Amino acid sequence: MSMKSMNHLSSILNDNRLTRPNFSDWLRDLNIVLNMETLGYILETQHENMKSAREVLKNLRELYEENNRIAQYEISKELFRERMQEGTKVGAHVQKMIRQI
C-alpha cells in the first residue's frame, strides 16, 4: 500500500480511539482498516510481476468481469419480477427496490 493511503487508514483509527460507548464504531473502523490492508497486500503481491497498470487492469477484468455480468443479470431479473402490492405506498416500494440493488 502506498504511504499516503497508509496515513489515511491510520488516521481513521487515530481519530476514533476506543472508549466504552463507541466500541461498535471503533470495531467497524478497525475492520475497515484491516480489510483494506489485506486487500492492498493481496493486490500488491498478486500483481507485482506485471509491468504496467494496463496489465493489472486486464488481469482484474479476467478475474471478476464474468461474475459482475452474472450479478447484474440476477439483480435485473429480480427487479423486473418485482411487483408493487396493492395498497402499498410508492415510497415503500421504491425503498424495497433500492435495497435489492
> Is the distance from CB of 13 to CB of 30 less than 8 angstroms?
yes
Are 4 and 27 within one domain?
yes
Determine the 3-state secondary structure of 64 from DSSP: helix
Residue from 65, 47, 66 nearest 55 by CA: 47
> Is the distance from CB of 41 to CB of 35 less than 8 angstroms?
no
- How many structural domains comprise the chain? 2
Which tens digits make up the pLDDT trace of 73-91? 888 898 888 888 899 899 8
| Range of the structural domain that residue 83 is part of | 51-101
Q: Final residue of a domain: which of 9, 24, 46? A: 46
Q: Concatenated DSSP letters for 16-51? A: S---GGGHHHHHHHHHHHHHHHHHHHHHHHHTTT--
3 pLDDT band, cuts 50/70/90, is: very low
Question: How many Cα atoms occupy the beta-carbon half-sphere of 29 within 13 Å?
Answer: 16
Are 57 and 30 within one domain?
no
Residue 2 has pLDDT above 60, yes or no: no
Are 66 and 89 within one domain?
yes
So what's the pLDDT on residue 7? Answer: 64
Are 57 and 80 within one domain?
yes
Are 56 and 97 within one domain?
yes
6 pLDDT band, cuts 50/70/90, is: low
Q: Of the spans 6-10, 16-20, 92-96, which averages the highest pLDDT?
A: 92-96
Are 63 and 97 within one domain?
yes
Are 42 and 55 within one domain?
no
Compute the average pLDDT of residues 31-49: 75
Are 39 and 60 within one domain?
no
Are 35 and 55 within one domain?
no
Q: Cα–Cα distance between 36 and 30 in angstroms, integer?
A: 10
